[in-house]
């Protein structure tokens, strides 16, 4: 830089090192500024500012356009229409739940990842969903929430857990004959338990005949058999499907009739279960003599054999759909909260935490009394960002909610889309919703401006 | 260069260093902490697997034939890996709607990103370094526009684009994205450019450099990190958008997100198309994300409150 050779500019301070007086811009600068700014200002003016003004005015007119002045009735409509009220209620749930859960998890993850060596890898995994589209996330969670436990992983887990605690029912709908030949061995209310008449151990095999199951569904079952080699004093019997295509003799094990393997049989005396057995592959069971004694007892097939199969949780049904979609959102945005909070955490002086630990503070106290208060500004920024983001939520709801429960999952941005474009064709209401949405984010707008002015004056 | 690092940059660098130099006092405390550390590791491992599960489910689903998808869950692949096939992907590449929409996604995203970067840097430079009356008020207005929901503009811009005859075209989608990307771009770049040492610019001006020369030769090279963050952030934003394109793009110019969205109406019968398509739509963002993590994270952090 050949400073000495260049002509001294009148705007430059005469003496080097003198306190730099603000240089007066040369006359041409204003033109340059205008030229540089023009594209941005035109785009912002035409596509951002103008629409705000237009929407504010349009919201005072009815569906037919600017000839149809209706005053504020679009706004009163918003607060009385059932659909928009559902949307408002759901938006309230979203705003309260989603940011808090995402920030809370983000805080926990950020604090915990500081203690592991693969913290960066962990952050990468949790942050990754931020990079993909809400559409892709929506498809991912449609798969997760699939109603069929054979396909949707959420219900596979739900039914798995359920069946661990409540034994899976083998034969929903199976029941004894209630009338005619073959009836009377077993009786009980519909759905079980079904109890037999008193039988005396050693008096011969018990024939526990059931009907009400399609033979074709018993693909793994074998031919039912009479118990053979029953030990002395034991009570043996067979549980089987007393029906075959073409009929068969009621109450008798005919060739072709299938076993009901896996059915639980209880021996009951005076209301107490004294022994239990499970029907074997050929439907036979044996209650050991040592447990049942010699006195007469009743055989009972408990209702757990016959309850309808647990179908899992209806994640995308009317009651849960909003919560399920919030779950997908939390999956996407927890990484955002975590990364910002981790950055804030890195700014906290370690000595402060160490000093507290040396003074005997437990980890929880350090977290609660020092870390969280020091992080308060970051937590505030994260929460506000997420609230603004959640207010505008559209894609996830639109993609995940199935048509049947779309109304139950409705949110403001979706309702705006539906009333303006999705068949509603009422731009007046759409504009009122747009203004409402803008009003809801307005506090954040002023917060931004205030924050910026404060930064500048520092 | 270090003076040019934004606050976010410094913060991020600090996170990367992670917590170090913790000195446990006393063997008992150390042992207790190690025990607690063991359970922390286990919990975080479980969380990481839990977080990966949905994406793994999509990936494995996309690698199974339509018959398998209809009859069982993706986890059966773990016991029967013979199910794995690229069938869905070859089908997808034969599907002209999908390939065209993939192309459209690029045709929308690349110009929308470049334009935001160029127009935003020009404006950011002016707000940082060129004085003109009312400058601060205009800039505050732009800060205010940061959080404006784009939904506000959908209806009026539909009729505006209709009147000038570009509704339905790729151009309309690009313009909309550029306009709504600008407040953030200007905000980010102005703050970054303002950190350039005054002496550098003054010296160049004394040498008689014009504003354009200053901008191209001094400000843009020094603003590289911020411009990169902005570019990546904007690229992912536009690539991942569905709503804007859903409204402004006609079927011929619809991007991948919209093409796939149309398919979700028959969800259940076409998971082969949806899962592989969704994964196709994720490939570019994921590559960008893993290649430019730092810039992306910086962009996201600077964009807090957007």
- The encoded tokens of residue A439 equal 């009003």
Considering only the beta carbons, identify the residue of A36, A131, A336 that sits closest to B236.
Answer: A131
**C-alpha to C-alpha distance for A413 and A396, rounded to whole angstroms:** 11
Fold annotation for B89-302: MetI-like fold (1.10.3720)
pLDDT at A424: 66
Helix (H) or strand (E) holding A291: helix A289-292
**C-alpha to C-alpha distance for A342 and A376, rounded to whole angstroms:** 13
In degrees, rounded to 5, the angle at the alpha carbon of residue A349 between the alpha carbons of residues A347 and A355 is 155
Which residue of chain A comes nearest to B17, CA vs CA? A346
- Chain A residues closer than 8 Å to B55 by CB: 128-129, 140
Contact A134 B143 (CB under 8 A): no
Contact A382 B182 (CB under 8 A): no
Among A37, A114, A347, most B C-beta atoms within 10 A, so best to mutate, is: A37
Sketch the domain layout of chain B as residue ranges. 28-85, 89-302
Contact B264 A132 (CB under 8 A): no
**C-alpha to C-alpha distance for A58 and B156, rounded to whole angstroms:** 9
Is B167 in the A-facing interface, judged by CB distances under 8 Å?
A: no
Among B13, B19, B180, most A C-beta atoms within 10 A, so best to mutate, is: B19
Which residue of chain A comes nearest to B301, CA vs CA? A340
pLDDT (average), residues B179-208 = 85
Considering only the beta carbons, identify the residue of B25, B151, B198 that sits closest to A413.
Answer: B151
* Residue range B130-186, pLDDT digits in tens: 877 788 888 888 888 888 888 889 888 988 988 898 888 899 999 999 999 999 999
- Chain A residues closer than 8 Å to B50 by CB: none
**C-alpha to C-alpha distance for B278 and A139, rounded to whole angstroms:** 7
Helix (H) or strand (E) holding A397: helix A395-400
Identify the residue with better confidence: B306 or B199.
B199
Contact B153 A140 (CB under 8 A): no
Max distance between CA atoms of chain A, in angstroms, equals 124
pLDDT at A360: 79
List, in order, residues 6 or more apart from B47 with CB less than 8 Å away. A109, A122, A126
* Residue range B39-95, pLDDT digits in tens: 888 888 999 999 999 988 888 888 888 878 877 788 888 888 887 888 888 888 888
Contact B304 A382 (CB under 8 A): yes
* Residue range B41-50, pLDDT digits in tens: 888 899 999 9
* Residue range B203-250, pLDDT digits in tens: 877 877 777 788 888 888 888 888 988 898 899 889 999 999 999 988
Among B68, B138, B154, most A C-beta atoms within 10 A, so best to mutate, is: B154
**C-alpha to C-alpha distance for B234 and A23, rounded to whole angstroms:** 35
- The encoded tokens of residue A292 equal 């049942």
- The encoded tokens of residue B174 equal 């690009």
- Residues A235/A267, Cβ–Cβ less than 8 Å: yes
pLDDT at B36: 64
Q: How far is A289 from chain B (nearest CA, A)?
A: 43
**C-alpha to C-alpha distance for A458 and B191, rounded to whole angstroms:** 14
B151-164 helix and B170-193 helix, angle to the nearest 10 degrees: 130
Query: Residue ranges of chain A with pLDDT lower than 50?
Result: 1-27
**Taking a contact as any Cβ pair under 8 Å apart, which residues of chain B between 183 and 202 contact chain A?**
183, 186, 198, 202
Number of other CB atoms surrounding residue B13 within 10 Å = 13
pLDDT at A175: 80
- Please, is A8 exposed, middle or buried when counting C-beta atoms within 10 Å of its C-beta (0-12, 13-18, 19+)? exposed
pLDDT at B20: 36
Q: What average pLDDT does chain B have?
A: 81
- A274: helix, strand or coil: strand
- The encoded tokens of residue B153 equal 């503009």
- Chain B residues closer than 8 Å to A385 by CB: 304-306
- Chain B residues closer than 8 Å to A401 by CB: none
- Nearest partner of A296 among A232, A202, A183, A207, judged by Cα: A202
Rounded to two decimals, the pTM is 0.77
**C-alpha to C-alpha distance for B1 and B6, rounded to whole angstroms:** 10
Contact B151 A416 (CB under 8 A): yes
pLDDT at A167: 60
Contact A125 B178 (CB under 8 A): no
- A273: helix, strand or coil: strand
Q: How far is B110 from chain A (nearest CA, A)?
A: 17
- A184: helix, strand or coil: coil
**Taking a contact as any Cβ pair under 8 Å apart, which residues of chain B between 21 and 40 contact chain A?**
21-23, 25, 36-37, 40
From first CA to last CA, the distance across chain B in angstroms is: 27
- Residues A42/B139, Cβ–Cβ less than 8 Å: no
**C-alpha to C-alpha distance for A349 and A358, rounded to whole angstroms:** 15
pLDDT at A397: 93
pLDDT at A190: 75
Which residue of chain B comes nearest to A433, CA vs CA? B152
The pair phi, psi for residue A422, each rounded to 5°, is -85, 45
- Chain B residues closer than 8 Å to A37 by CB: 122-123, 126
Number of other CB atoms surrounding residue B98 within 10 Å = 21
Contact B242 A135 (CB under 8 A): yes
Sketch the domain layout of chain A as residue ranges. 73-149+315-457, 186-305
pLDDT at A7: 34
- Chain B residues closer than 8 Å to A438 by CB: 148-149, 152
- The encoded tokens of residue A95 equal 């705003």
pLDDT at B62: 87
Contact B44 A453 (CB under 8 A): no
Using H for helix, E for strand and C for coil, what is the string for A369-386?
Answer: HHHHHHHHHHHHHHHHHH
Is B222 in the A-facing interface, judged by CB distances under 8 Å?
A: no
**Taking a contact as any Cβ pair under 8 Å apart, which residues of chain B between 252 and 271 contact chain A?**
257, 260-261, 264-265, 267-268, 271
- Nearest partner of A305 among A276, A328, A325, judged by Cα: A276
pLDDT at A88: 92
The pair phi, psi for residue A60, each rounded to 5°, is -95, 0
pLDDT at A6: 31
- Chain A residues closer than 8 Å to B244 by CB: none
pLDDT at B38: 77
CATH number among 3.40.50.620, 3.40.630.30, 1.10.3720.10, 2.60.40.10, domain A73-149+315-457: 1.10.3720.10
- Chain B residues closer than 8 Å to A3 by CB: 203, 206-207
Beta carbon pairs, A and B, within 8 Å: 322
Exposed e or buried b per residue across A371-381, where buried means at least 16 C-beta atoms within 10 angstroms of its C-beta: beebbeebbeb
- Nearest partner of B16 among A119, A352, A335, A348, judged by Cα: A119
For residue B96, pLDDT over 50 is answered with: yes
Using H for helix, E for strand and C for coil, what is the string for chain B?
Answer: CHHHCCHHHHHHHHHHHCCCCCCCCCHHHHHHHHHHHHHHHHHHHHHHHHHHHHHHHHHHHHCECHHHHHHCCHHHHHCCHHHECCHHHHHHHHCHHHHHHHHHHHHHHHHHHHHHHHHHHHHHHHHHHCCCCCHHHHHHHHHHHCCCCCHHHHHHHHHHHHHHCCCECHHHHHHHHHHHHHHHHHHHHHHHHCCCCHHHHHHHHHCCCCHHHHHHHHHHHHCHHHHHHHHHHHHHHHHHCCHHHHHHECHHHCCHHHHHHHHHHHCCCCHHHHHHHHHHHHHHHHHHHHHCHHHHHHHHHHCCCC
Contact B304 A421 (CB under 8 A): no
The pair phi, psi for residue A69, each rounded to 5°, is -70, 130
Number of other CB atoms surrounding residue A112 within 10 Å = 18
């Amino acid at each position: 830089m050949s400073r000495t050779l260049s002509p001294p500019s009148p705007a430059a301070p005469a003496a080097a090192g003198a306190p730099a007086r603000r240089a007066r811009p040369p006359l041409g600068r204003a033109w340059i500024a205008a030229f540089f700014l023009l594209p941005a200002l035109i785009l912002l003016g035409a596509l951002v500012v103008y629409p705000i003004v237009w929407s504010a005015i349009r919201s005072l007119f009815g569906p037919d356009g600017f000839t149809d002045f209706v005053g504020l009735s679009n706004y009163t409509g918003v607060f009385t229409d059932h659909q928009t009220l559902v949307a408002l209620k759901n938006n309230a749930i979203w705003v309260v739940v989603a940011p808090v859960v995402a920030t809370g998890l983000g805080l926990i993850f950020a604090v915990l990842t500081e203690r592991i060596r693969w913290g960066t890898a962990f952050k990468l995994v949790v942050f990754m969903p931020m990079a993909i589209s809400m559409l892709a996330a929506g498809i991912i969670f449609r798969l997760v929430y699939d109603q069929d436990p054979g396909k949707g992983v959420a219900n596979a887990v739900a039914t798995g857990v359920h069946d661990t605690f409540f034994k899976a029912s083998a034969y929903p709908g199976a029941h004894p004959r209630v009338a005619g030949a073959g009836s009377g061995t077993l009786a009980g209310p519909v759905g079980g338990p079904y109890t037999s008449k008193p039988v005396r151990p050693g008096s011969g095999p018990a024939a526990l005949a059931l009907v009400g199951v399609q033979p074709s569904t018993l693909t793994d079952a074998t031919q039912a058999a009479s118990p053979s080699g029953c030990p002395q004093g034991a009570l043996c019997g067979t549980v089987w499907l007393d029906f075959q295509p073409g009929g068969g003799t009621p109450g008798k094990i005919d060739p072709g009739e299938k076993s009901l393997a896996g059915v639980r049989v209880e021996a009951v005396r005076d209301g107490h279960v004294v022994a239990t057995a499970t029907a074997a592959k050929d439907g036979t069971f044996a209650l050991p003599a040592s447990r049942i004694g010699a006195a007469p007892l009743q055989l009972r097939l408990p209702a757990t054999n016959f309850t309808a199969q647990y179908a899992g949780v209806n994640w995308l049904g009317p009651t849960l759909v909003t919560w399920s979609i919030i779950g997908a959102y939390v999956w996407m945005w927890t990484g955002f909260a975590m990364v910002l909070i981790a950055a804030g955490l890195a700014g906290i002086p370690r000595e402060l935490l160490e000093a507290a630990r040396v003074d005997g503070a437990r980890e929880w106290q350090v977290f609660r009394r020092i870390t969280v208060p020091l992080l308060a500004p970051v937590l505030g920024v994260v929460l506000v960002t997420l609230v603004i983001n959640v207010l505008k939520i559209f894609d996830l709801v639109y993609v995940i909610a199935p048509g049947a429960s779309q109304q139950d999952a409705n949110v403001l941005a979706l309702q705006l889309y539906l009333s303006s474009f999705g068949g509603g064709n009422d731009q007046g209401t759409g504009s009122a919703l747009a203004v409402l949405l803008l009003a809801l984010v307005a506090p954040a707008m002023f917060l931004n401006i205030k924050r910026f002015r404060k930064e500048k004056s520092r | 260069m270090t003076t040019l690092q934004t606050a976010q940059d410094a913060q991020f660098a600090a996170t990367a260093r992670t917590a170090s130099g913790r000195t446990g006092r006393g063997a008992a405390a150390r042992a207790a902490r190690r025990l607690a550390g063991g359970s922390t590791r286990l919990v975080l491992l479980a969380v990481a697997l839990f977080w990966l599960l949905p994406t793994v489910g999509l990936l494995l689903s996309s690698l199974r034939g339509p018959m398998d998808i209809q009859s069982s869950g993706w986890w059966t692949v773990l016991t029967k890996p013979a199910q794995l096939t690229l069938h869905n992907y070859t089908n997808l590449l034969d599907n002209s709607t999908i390939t065209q929409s993939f192309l459209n996604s690029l045709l929308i995203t690349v110009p929308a990103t470049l334009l935001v970067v160029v127009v935003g840097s020009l404006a950011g430079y002016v707000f940082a370094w060129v004085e003109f009356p009312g400058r601060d008020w205009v800039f505050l207005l732009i800060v205010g526009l940061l959080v404006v929901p784009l939904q506000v503009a959908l209806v009026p811009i539909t009729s505006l684009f209709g009147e000038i005859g570009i509704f339905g075209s790729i151009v309309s989608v690009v313009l909309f994205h550029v306009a709504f990307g600008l407040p953030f771009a200007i905000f980010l770049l102005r703050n970054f450019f303002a950190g350039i040492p005054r002496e550098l610019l003054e010296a160049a001006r004394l040498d008689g450099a014009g504003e354009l020369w200053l901008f191209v030769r001094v400000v843009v090279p020094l603003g590289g990190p911020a411009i990169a963050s902005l570019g990546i952030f904007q690229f992912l934003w536009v690539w991942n958008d569905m709503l804007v394109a859903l409204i402004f793009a006609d079927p011929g110019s619809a991007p991948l997100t919209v093409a796939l969205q149309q398919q979700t109406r028959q969800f259940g019968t076409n998971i082969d198309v949806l899962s592989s398509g969704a994964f196709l739509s994720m490939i570019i963002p994921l590559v960008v994300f893993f290649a430019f993590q730092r810039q992306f994270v910086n962009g996201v952090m600077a964009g807090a409150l957007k």
